[in-house]
Every structure is written in structure tokens, then in C-alpha cells.
Structure 1
Amino acid sequence: MFKRKLKALDYEHWEEVNCKDDEQLKKLVVWLEDEKVRHYTVEDRIPLRDIHNGTWDEVFQKYLKDVECPLTTSILDQLEWLVGLAVRQEFEDKPEKYQIKKETGTTDAEVPTVKSTNPLDTLDFNSNEFKEGVQSIAKLLNIAQHPNHLTTLEACSKYVTSRLNAETLKNPRTVVITGTPFPIMETEMGFDMGDKVLNNTAKALNLLYIQDLRDLQTSINEAIVAVQNITANPKTDTKAGKVGV
């Protein structure tokens, strides 16, 4: 997947990237900054381009801090985040290339303006304060951070609603996973897409699909129980009945 992102970014040597070769990784960092991210001015990139300098690692860590990388783990994780940032920057630079054009001659219907009183509607979801808040929540919940902070926020929301709701807090054992993990990546899907990455992706999507089916079945069962509580125990008014002539 890492190489696929580099291919999408038109990196010339995307097939030859060796994650164990420090010099290749340094050259990749320089290319990402020069061609895609462009956070620094040309003059400020000089220390980053000097990949043979003994202090390059310190320069790189400062660069990560300047681009607001939240990861402090391995250089591979940081580089993965940086590639994701480059992909997002590429989209923001050329949005018209990826957006579907509307048919000419059509006009949007006029919609009345409604002034919301919800304070959440006035938040700036792209402000630095909001991003820092999302990072703090993700760190507190031990959730991996995505280059797009809104995706990270969505992951936090799913975790909170499923693991930290009122019913779960009363009985934590209901969400504690026990037993031996099912080796999903070692199972056969019944088809082969000719690529290991695509096959693993299909297996992950299959798990998500099964989870959706389970949630749907749970909702159906709850609806059946609710209807049965009404139809199986009807209320009758015996005073309205009449016996004889």
C-alpha cells in the first residue's frame, strides 16, 4: 500500500523503494517536500536536502514538528504519515481533477437559510485548535492517527459509542474480547485477485461486512421483540362486552 501511494504521487522510483535503506528513505523525504508538501521555502529546504549530514535526523524531526506530524514512533510510521499528507496535498492542489463535474444548464434549487443554535455548527473543523483536540483524544484512547484528522475523529467516535457508552460501562465484560483470534488473513476467500495487498484488503472488507450484518440482525431482533411485547399481551376492556340478548 505504501508503494501504491508513491505510484499515485508519480514517484519515479516507487517500485525500488527499500524501507531498510536509510539513504533511499532520506531521498524520498526530500522529494516529498520538494514536489508535493512544499511546507518550507526553497532556502529552508537546504538542510533537509543534505542527506549525508550527520545531523540530518535532527533536521528531519524538526521538519516533522513543523508539518505537525503527531507520530513519535518509528521513522517508517512517520514516513507513512508524510506520504499520506502528500496525497492529501495533491488533492487540495488539483481538486478539479478528482471532482465530478455537474451537467451544464442545471441550477441548484434555492434552499431557505436556517440559523442553527447548536454550538457545534460554529466550530472550525480545520483550525489548529480543533486538530490538536482530536490528536489529544486519539492519544488518550490509544487510537492510531490518520493524516486526515476528521478520519481520526470518526474512529474515536466509533470507539466511544461502542466501548464507552452507559450500558457498556455498567458491564465492561460485554465488550472484552476473549478466546483465540480468528486467523482471517490465513483463510481462503474463494477467489484470488492476483495481488496479496488486494486479497488482504478484501478479507478486511469481508470482516466489516459481516459486522454490518450482525448489527442489522441485532436491530431486526430488537424490532421483533418490541412488536411481540405489544401483540402477545393485548389489553382488553371487558366492560364493553355483552352477554345474552
Structure 2
Amino acid sequence: MAGIVVVFDFDKTIIDVDSDNWVIDELGFYRFVQSTSPYHALELSHGQDDGRASFSGKNIDDIVGCELRIVSDANMFFIETILKHLGLRDYFSEINTNPGFVDEEGRLRIFPYHDFTQSSHGCSRCPPNMCKGLIIERIQASIAKEGNKKIIYLGDGVGDYCPSLRLTEADYLMPRKNFPVWDLICRNPMLIKAEIHEWTDGEELERVLLQIIGAISSMEDKSAAQLFSSTDCKLQTISIGAHDAFPKALSVPQ
């Protein structure tokens, strides 16, 4: 399964909520300061986690053989905090999201992934701070150097539509049914080159994802077996042909 890269959105995909709202509502953060930009400054207090964030894929051990990445318009602090709490952080090789840090005053500072105050990323489909399509293109370029790898992309929101359009015929798309990305895809599904497999909740996400991974693995095993069989046959042919082509041994006079 080393030839499979699974790319997850985070909010309403890995967790079944919007992390910004969930953190404020459920973890006891008591002060929300709206900054002048689309990003936020939070002053933290100690709260209790009631565990109501739900990881969509229940048996992530079943997909640990794949490379797992995140592309999200949430933020690094929330994503890493939630993943560590769920015991999942080490499964992901890469997290692409809006950076954030806690400053000396205890405020969480969140900045845009793409600094739109300096320049535009040039994509009219996406919000000014992040084009997930460009991130997917970078991932595609990086894995192309490593051989023939397939991408499975999972998402739910409007921002997941642009990367969906960048997937190839060899890839797989898992949009969350009846969510914004699903509605956009349904307007003209012919624009999507990847094979589409929808899901509605965590249980179905798990089942569909494991089915796709299993199907890809089976195809890879079959291809490897056919290649081995073909190579073995060629080696036998070469061996037989070479034997027949050898000159007969000359008898040496005694």
C-alpha cells in the first residue's frame, strides 16, 4: 500500500464538527477576540474535554500502510491538539493548514496559509488565504518522483472542490454526500476525472476507504504477479534459446 497517498480535509471529515467553533464551545475557551483580518486571536483558559469530537475513521490502523496527509483550512494548533488527543498525530506525514502559535501573552495567533496581503494565489474558486488545488498539485509533483502513486482525496466543503478538479483518472475522490463539495460536483460530474465514491458518516467513510485501498492493493498484487510471470517466461525463453545457440563441444585428440 506504499503506492497510496490518502489526503484528508479535517473539519467535518476527520472530525465531525467545525474545529474553530468546537474548540470555543466545548473546551472552555472564554474569550473570543475578532481581529481585523479573517483570522482570530484567542485567550485560553483551562477547560474540560468531554470527548465529543468524533474521528470519522474508526480503525485507522487498517490504513496505516498508506501515506496519510491533511489539507485543511483550519489551523495547525487546533489540528495538532485534537489529533494528539485522539492518538492520531503520528499517523500523518504532512499537515497543510493555516499556521498558528501561542504568543507570550497566551493568545493563539492564527495566520493565513497564503499571505494574501502580499500577493494572490491566483485561484478564483478558493478563499484568499488558501487554494487547496495548488497544494494538491505540489503533492502530485512530489509523489511523481517516487513512482506511480495514487491519491485518495476526502473532503466536504467548498474548498475541497478545487483539489477535486486537479485529481487524475488514476486517483479516487471521496466527497461527503449532501455537503457543499458534493453539490458542486453534482452540477457537472464530468469535470471530475477521478473515480468518485461518496460517504455520509464515519462508519461509511471507513468502509468505503478500506474498500478502495483493498481494490488498489489487489490490482497492484495482480500487476506484480503478471509482471513476475512475464519476466519468468522471458528468462526461460532466453535460457532455452541460449542453450540451443551454444556451439557443440569439440573433441580434443588424445
Higher relative contact order (CA 8 A, sep 6+): 2
Query: More helix per residue: 1 or 2?
Result: 1
Whose strand fraction is larger, Structure 1's or Structure 2's? 2
**Bigger radius of gyration:** 1
Q: TM-score, structure 1 length as denominator?
A: 0.34
